[in-house]
Chain A
Amino acid sequence: MKPWKSVLAATALAFASCTAAYAARTDIVLGVPLEPPHLDPTAGAAAAIDEVLYANVFEGLTRIGSRGEVMPGLAESWTVSEDGKTYTFKLHTGVKFHDGTDFDAEDVKFSLDRARAEESTNAQKGLFAAIDTVKVVDPATVTVTLKNPQGSFLYNLGWGDAVIVAPESAETNKEKPIGTGPFKFDNWAKGSSITLVKSADYWGEPAMLDKAEFRIIPDAAAAVPALLSGDVQVLPNFQLGDALPQVESDPRFKVVIGATEGETVLSTNNKKPPFDQLKVRQAIAHALDRKAIIDGASGGLGVPIGSHFSPANAAYIDLTGTYPFDPAKSRELLKEAGFENGIKATLKLPPVGYARDGGQIIASQLRDVGIDLEIIPVEWADWLAQVFKEKDYDLSIVSHTEPNDIDIYSRKDYYFNYDNPAFDKVIEELNLTSDDARRTELYHQAQKILADDAVNGFLFELPKIGIWDAKVEGMWENSPIQANDLTKVRWVD
């Protein structure tokens, strides 16, 4: 090769590599702690499923935005009848599933009927309980008739469990998900990673990334070096640990503390003596020092709550002052209730950091007022079987991560064993109301009743700790639902 030729070649090469280096990146790797068991959001409760697929691959009639608001999804618009029982959805046209089949009203009917069918294994079947019939008017119009008005119906349709699937692919979605979203499923290397790529013929605003990989990194101690070495650029749900300060001080990364929908509570068996007495529950509430609990169980992150409602929600009211931290008052209440000699009880703790660490602190705070707790650590499966299903417990600690789930307190067989007709009436009216102002008012009432009744020890809202490369934009700060919506994520220089 002549010298001038090699110089030219070298220049061309240098130029090519420069442009490659300076064009904004379009690929991203996210490190997630849990692998989804399968990839069908309509057939499992695991948050990990929605955290990969929601809004990215699958879409519903409505969708939940980054602040928990209901936005149009596959339904362009809707009207609600006077009596609040009939919803007419106008659908987007020209929408295709990733396998090339058309999306239309028949798919909506199929999906909603499938989710509420008798043999359905949808984990949130209750969301669809109010539906009476789903009728196809024309390919772009669907009418859903409810048995009774349901104020939260549009919100419910935005859950991952309510996404629209096609009859052709519904049975194989667990392995090969086919949706209508801006990303389509590319590959799942089991135990290792899930890759999504941009869908070329998306009906809406196209994604800004070409490729997104969810890499499964179960251990927080392993996630940090993965981030530092550049293998991974986003850790959307970082598990709290000693590693946080190591990243916080590094200017290459952004650490974003947001809110979740996880109300962390000291679950109380309201039918089991002595916890069936209001005074005993009030005594517990007065004995809890939320600040110390948050410091110890959540690294000082997380907002204290006084009822079962997320501070990120517009209808939230701060009720942490209902029963302020006051051990003297607590002891007095126990005495009035006839327990001057103290109480012995058990505290069953699931295998999560906030519960195991928080449990130690709460046990010592309650011991201080004369409630002696025996700590029993249990596994998740045991927790679900013993505490949640059999209601064989006194106290437990768990975070209720489902969004807008204050209505669980009106369920008769729920593990809190709480029963208050006045509260049920509020929830009933809430179900029948779609006027926002009235709904807010009712939410206030509901929160207040739970706080006054000291149903559970209300502790704090679980934080969402997101860490990502400082050049990444568009990740959600909060998680109003369990999702990693990548539709607006991009690299900036």
Chain B
Amino acid sequence: MTAYLAKRLLIGLATLVVASVVVFAVLEILPGDPARLMLGMNATEDAVLALRNELGLNQGIVMRYLTWTGGLLSLDFGRSYTYSVPVIELIRERSAVSLPLALIALALSTAIAIPVGVFSAARRGRPADTVAMGASQLGVAVPNFWFALLLVYVFAVWLRLVPAGGFPGWGAGLWPALKALILPAVALALPQAAILARVTRSALLDVLGEDFIRTARAKGLPRRTVLWRHALRNAMLPVVTIMGLQFAFLLAGTIIIENVFYLPGLGRLVFQAINQRDLIVVEGVVMLLVATVIVVNLLVDLSYAIVDPRLRHRT
């Protein structure tokens, strides 16, 4: 188990180093001068030069890479070119929106998907299964920005239950902040739930065909116990894997939803930073997301061991 863990950690670290080189190199190749972009079409050449000096853009590429990675080790992500505040501060502010949003969406999608998946599997081929899987097909197919707008028109414009968008900040109180996150979380969660429900169903169906299930039934265990205790537990491996992937996706892939609801989250930050050539912010956020994905994958690997005891004894 320890060796397994150590190996995973090492792979994670190596991935981070490779990612840092790739991220830095790709953004270096990107054409466009951040200083010129910030000062616009009317700026004089010496004003642009002065700003390049101020931003440290006139140093060599290797020097800048070393300064940047050196900073990363001490959690110093540098200063944003456009906002001129520490990048870590921006990330912290934006995470306060994106992280809760992703967690709520994940909880919501799990809470919907697993019961629906189990329900469908248990009634395979019957009308209830067909309806549930039809609905999930729809959930996979509907683009989430369209679904988000639909939610806004119904719940914000028509019923006026929640704001149409924006985020008042956690300082405004728990309820107003949560209220602003409900629609975006639902818009994010439903398509995810649709996928997860299908995965749960098919994983469960595979397990239900296995010999040990027949044995359990033959022993006279109630159907319900067989389904939830024996079958579901063994079907969890693919489900947990998909959940891990989905969390990373929810955290990084919220650009569209954050635009529709104009939420100040990480997705918006990185989108805006790419447009404004605020390279240092893009680099910082991307590295953070890479690190998150690695950590989540590690957790997923560990959870395999919890779900499947056989993995605990493997080295």
CB distance from B201 to the nearest CB of A (A): 34
Interface contact A222-B32, CB-CB below 8 Å: no
A-B contact pairs, 27 of them (CB 8 A): A37-B82, A38-B83, A38-B84, A44-B40, A118-B50, A121-B51, A123-B47, A124-B42, A125-B44, A174-B84, A189-B169, A189-B264, A191-B93, A191-B265, A216-B264, A218-B262, A222-B262, A225-B156, A225-B157, A226-B165, A229-B157, A231-B156, A231-B164, A380-B37, A381-B34, A381-B277, A388-B41
Say whether A402 faces chain B, with CB atoms less than 8 Å apart.
yes
Interface contact A44-B38, CB-CB below 8 Å: yes
Interface contact B153-A225, CB-CB below 8 Å: yes
Interface contact A384-B262, CB-CB below 8 Å: no
Interface contact B262-A215, CB-CB below 8 Å: yes
Interface contact A125-B46, CB-CB below 8 Å: yes
Which A residues are CB-close (under 8 A) to B37? 380-381, 384
Interface contact A121-B39, CB-CB below 8 Å: yes
Closest residue of chain B to A390, judged by CB? B31
Say whether B105 faces chain A, with CB atoms less than 8 Å apart.
no
Query: A38-B84, A121-B54, A231-B163 given as contacts; is B268 within 8 A of A191 (CB)?
Result: yes
Closest residue of chain A to B261, judged by CB? A222
Interface contact A45-B41, CB-CB below 8 Å: yes
CA distance A122 to B44 in the complex (A): 9
CB distance from B77 to the nearest CB of A (A): 15
Say whether A193 faces chain B, with CB atoms less than 8 Å apart.
yes
Interface contact B50-A119, CB-CB below 8 Å: yes
Which residues, 258 to 297 on B, are CB-close (under 8 Å) to A? 259-265, 268-269, 272, 275-277
Interface contact A385-B165, CB-CB below 8 Å: no
Interface contact A192-B167, CB-CB below 8 Å: yes
Interface contact A402-B38, CB-CB below 8 Å: no
Say whether B152 faces chain A, with CB atoms less than 8 Å apart.
yes
CB distance from B91 to the nearest CB of A (A): 11
CA distance A119 to B50 in the complex (A): 6
CB distance from B308 to the nearest CB of A (A): 42
Interface size on B, residues (CB 8 A): 51
Which residues, 15 to 60 on B, are CB-close (under 8 Å) to A? 30-34, 36-44, 46-47, 50-51, 54
Say whether A79 faces chain B, with CB atoms less than 8 Å apart.
no
Interface contact B272-A35, CB-CB below 8 Å: yes
Which B residues are CB-close (under 8 A) to A124? 42-43
Closest residue of chain A to B151, judged by CB? A225
Which A residues are CB-close (under 8 A) to B165? 217, 222, 225-226, 231
Interface contact B42-A126, CB-CB below 8 Å: yes
CA distance A240 to B38 in the complex (A): 24
CB distance from A30 to the nearest CB of B (A): 13
Closest residue of chain B to A31, judged by CB? B262
Say whether B123 faces chain A, with CB atoms less than 8 Å apart.
no
CB distance from B281 to the nearest CB of A (A): 11
Interface contact B264-A190, CB-CB below 8 Å: yes
B160 touches which one: A37, A123, A229, A381 (CB < 8 A)? A229
Query: A35-B272, A381-B277 given as contacts; is B152 within 8 A of A225 (CB)?
Result: yes
Interface contact B31-A221, CB-CB below 8 Å: no
Say whether B85 faces chain A, with CB atoms less than 8 Å apart.
yes
CA distance A422 to B260 in the complex (A): 52
Interface centre among A46, A225, A228 (most CB of B within 10 A): A225
A221 touches which one: B41, B51, B93, B260 (CB < 8 A)? B260
Interface centre among B34, B50, B166 (most CB of A within 10 A): B166
Closest residue of chain A to B94, judged by CB? A191
Which B residues are CB-close (under 8 A) to A175? 84-85
CB distance from B57 to the nearest CB of A (A): 13
Query: A45-B39, A121-B51, A380-B275 given as contacts; is B44 within 8 A of A126 (CB)?
Result: yes
Q: Mark A72-98, 1 if CB is under 8 A from B, else 0.
A: 000000000000000000000000000
> Which 7 pairs across A and B sit closest by C-beta, in order of nearness?
A381-B32, A45-B40, A191-B264, A37-B82, A192-B264, A123-B39, A229-B164
Which A residues are CB-close (under 8 A) to B85? 175
Say whether B248 faces chain A, with CB atoms less than 8 Å apart.
no
Q: Mark A384-418, 1 if CB is under 8 A from B, else 0.
A: 11101100000000001010010000000000000
Which residues, 96 to 146 on B, are CB-close (under 8 Å) to A? none
B50 touches which one: A120, A216, A229 (CB < 8 A)? A120
Which residues, 163 to 184 on A, are CB-close (under 8 Å) to B? 174-175
Interface centre among A118, A119, A405 (most CB of B within 10 A): A119
Say whether B307 faces chain A, with CB atoms less than 8 Å apart.
no
Interface contact A385-B33, CB-CB below 8 Å: yes
CB distance from A168 to the nearest CB of B (A): 19
Closest residue of chain A to B53, judged by CB? A119
Q: Mark A115-137, 1 if CB is under 8 A from B, else 0.
A: 00011111111100000000000
Closest residue of chain A to B81, judged by CB? A37
* Chain A interface residues (CB < 8 Å from chain B): 35, 37-38, 44-46, 118-126, 174-175, 189-193, 215-219, 221-222, 225-226, 228-231, 379-382, 384-386, 388-389, 400, 402, 405
Which B residues are CB-close (under 8 A) to A228? 157, 164
Which residues, 64 to 100 on B, are CB-close (under 8 Å) to A? 82-85, 90, 93-94
Which B residues are CB-close (under 8 A) to A222? 149, 152, 164-165, 259-262
Interface contact B41-A193, CB-CB below 8 Å: no
CB distance from B192 to the nearest CB of A (A): 21
Which A residues are CB-close (under 8 A) to B275? 379-381
Interface contact B82-A38, CB-CB below 8 Å: yes
Interface centre among B42, B50, B54 (most CB of A within 10 A): B42
Which B residues are CB-close (under 8 A) to A38? 82-84
CB distance from B29 to the nearest CB of A (A): 12
Which A residues are CB-close (under 8 A) to B262? 192, 215-219, 222, 226
CB distance from B43 to the nearest CB of A (A): 5
B33 touches which one: A174, A189, A381 (CB < 8 A)? A381
Which A residues are CB-close (under 8 A) to B94? 190-191
Interface contact A225-B42, CB-CB below 8 Å: no
Closest residue of chain A to B93, judged by CB? A190
CB distance from B52 to the nearest CB of A (A): 10
Which A residues are CB-close (under 8 A) to B31? 381-382, 385-386
CA distance A122 to B43 in the complex (A): 8
Which residues, 152 to 195 on B, are CB-close (under 8 Å) to A? 152-153, 156-157, 160, 163-167, 169
Closest residue of chain A to B275, judged by CB? A380
Interface contact A123-B42, CB-CB below 8 Å: yes
CB distance from B103 to the nearest CB of A (A): 19
CB distance from B270 to the nearest CB of A (A): 11
Interface contact B149-A221, CB-CB below 8 Å: yes
Interface contact B152-A402, CB-CB below 8 Å: no
Supply 14 further A-B pairs (C-beta < 8 A) apart from A44-B39, A191-B93, A225-B157.
A37-B83, A38-B84, A118-B50, A121-B50, A123-B42, A124-B43, A126-B44, A190-B90, A191-B269, A222-B165, A222-B261, A229-B164, A231-B164, A384-B32
Interface centre among B37, B163, B169, B264 (most CB of A within 10 A): B37
Closest residue of chain A to B259, judged by CB? A219
Interface centre among B30, B33, B39, B272 (most CB of A within 10 A): B39
CB distance from B244 to the nearest CB of A (A): 27
CA distance A122 to B167 in the complex (A): 33
Interface contact B83-A190, CB-CB below 8 Å: yes
B47 touches which one: A121, A174, A226, A385 (CB < 8 A)? A121
